[in-house]
Structure 1
């Protein structure tokens, strides 16, 4: 409590010791503070929720978004780790759309270049697609970190190996050719 009566200070979010993944807690036998959900033998997997129409919309340039493909790959990756039920579908949609928009901006940069003509001075300036691509990439990474953190903290099986984030550049490069 500060002298003026307001509650300020205290621990900041994200400080302190990092949480251990559930897999490490299970291996160490230390389940203090861990919630482990039993997996019944007759567990049926969910089908992937349908991809929303706005993710399939044809773009002004005539190309299709890759959002449905990213959404499906990410869903399958989560399902393989039994985490598809604990990740919010809106977070998956946000990730898929950010990846798709980033790829769309990269296509535009390849087509129009890194420079543009300033509207008032006529001088060369950075293409707006460069800034948009950086913003979408930041959104994409933030959404992925949230998804990955959920999997890391709740997955009771090893979550190593390739993940959908690894395939993003491959998708971008395949669209060029």
Structure 2
């Protein structure tokens, strides 16, 4: 950078390849990949749904609640064998943010995206759109904390993740309001 504040930036550089991809390519770097013994630690108890999340949810329609998202994420992580490596706070953060995203998206789907602003004169954009974008971005960042652990420590590729079915869940909403 031209401002004289050089140095290593967190997250800079080429991202690491997932372990499953390294194993499929036959390990072109010739360095032995780090493979964790997942079977030894798989006896860890499954974390319970934190009841404090129920305080933040509003169940008005068919969108998934934070409890639904929590259970779906925990089931996916159990299938990967990486549940014991994930901090439960990461799952909690992801479930709360994604359920909030669905709530705001539901609210926007019943209102107009743009409207006449009588105070300023002209057309204005619904402020809920900014909220949707922010919640989606934050939920995506929370998911990446979880997915990084899974992709770096799993020998298999699991295809679609619970985070990937976003459009399917959005289309399930009851649009009548």
How many residue pairs get aligned? The number is 168
Structure 1 stretches of at least 4 aligned residues deviating more than 6 Å after TM superposition: none
Q: Which has the higher contact order (CA 8 A, sep 6+)?
A: 2
CA distance, structure 2, for counterparts of residue 145 and residue 39 of structure 1 = 21
TM-score, normalised via structure 1 length: 0.76
Matches within 5 A, 1:19-58: 19-25=16-22, 28=26, 30=30, 32=32, 35-40=34-39, 43-44=42-43, 46-55=45-54, 57=56
Give unpaired runs (5+ residues) of structure 1: 1-6
TM-score, normalised via structure 2 length: 0.76
Please state whether the residue corresponding to 1:46 is helix, strand or coil: coil
Q: CA RMSD in A?
A: 2.9
CA distance, structure 1, for counterparts of residue 31 and residue 18 of structure 2 = 11
Asked if the contact 2:94/2:143 (under 8 Å) is kept, the reply is yes
Structure 1 residues 35-44 or 138-147, which shifts more?
35-44
Give unpaired runs (5+ residues) of structure 2: none
Task: State the 1:86 CA deviation.
Answer: 1.4
The aligned counterpart of 2:148 is: 149
Task: State the 1:43 CA deviation.
Answer: 4.6
